[in-house]
Amino acid sequence: MRKRVWIVLIVGAMLLFISACGSSNNEGTAGENSGNEEPAVLEVEFDLPETANAGETIEPKATVTYGDELVSDADEVTFEYWKKGNEDNSTKVEADNNGDGTYTAEISFDNDGVYELYAHTTARGMHTMPKKSITVGDGGNQETENGDESQDESSHKHGSADGFSMDFAQLDNMKTGQETNLTVQLQMDEKPLESANVQYEVKSDSGNTEWVETEESEAGEYNASHTFDEAGTYTITVHVKNKDGLHEHEEHEVEVN
């Protein structure tokens, strides 16, 4: 009888120990996953000289990070440049991967003028394209004084594939803390472009970037809701991809009060 009691006590103690270990592990796992960490964002630090001489070789550099991680395996880093006011005649140069999260290329400009450059960067399923300008020689005098009057500064349209069009619904009277509907209509060859992958890249003037996924509410129309947390100027870039290899984007500048 006494032996049976001891066996029961030992078995009970073992069951309690196993139960306590399982509870401890569950609590540890829950603790690790309970943090409300914000998702990492693809960022590019774009280094470019402010001035250069015609014929001089310059080396633009993109330093790519994803959160705290240096990205040494970006899918694409391409520098695109054009003379201000003539974006339809742009040139693209694929960057060299230096293996340490930096990407560089060699570029030279034949004539004086103001040139604008994008650092197109695709990595970790995201795309971003910081933009900078450089003055070559005397800047072309007239261009420097008058600037580019042919484009609306609040909207930048990238050279599009043949037959593709994008119509982003303009946003007015936006306020912080209010949910805003973002809508874009896409067409290819004057027909709705369906089943595309459309994302909004929302970047504040303080440098914060958020990526917003869309839903196709009807054929060729893509919608998303977004709340702006702070007042200021935002750049909203509409990114469009599809299975046929289309990759287009368009920038819009908006004010939030």
pLDDT score recorded for residue 86: 85
- Residue span(s) of the chain under CATH 2.60.40.10 come to 157-256
Q: Tokens 């469009």 belong to which residue?
A: 240
Q: Which fold has domain 157-256?
A: Immunoglobulin-like (2.60.40)
- Banded pLDDT at 161 (limits 50, 70, 90): confident
Residue 5 has pLDDT above 60, yes or no: no
Judge whether 64 and 93 are in contact, CB under 8 Å: no
Range of lowest pLDDT (62-71, 96-105, 121-130, 184-193): 121-130
Strands (E), 129-208: 131-136, 155-157, 164-168, 179-188, 191-192, 197-204
Q: Which residues of 17-38 are buried (b: 16+ CB within 10 A; e: fewer)?
A: eeeeeeeeeeeeeeeeeeeeee
Q: Does domain 42-151 have CATH number 2.60.40.1930?
A: yes
> From CA 92, how far away is CA 90, in angstroms rounded?
7
- Residue span(s) of the chain under CATH 2.60.40.1930 come to 42-151
For residue 213, what are its two tokens? Answer: 């996924």
Comparing 71 with 41, the larger pLDDT belongs to 71
pLDDT score recorded for residue 81: 94
- Banded pLDDT at 2 (limits 50, 70, 90): low
pLDDT average, residue stretch 46-74: 95
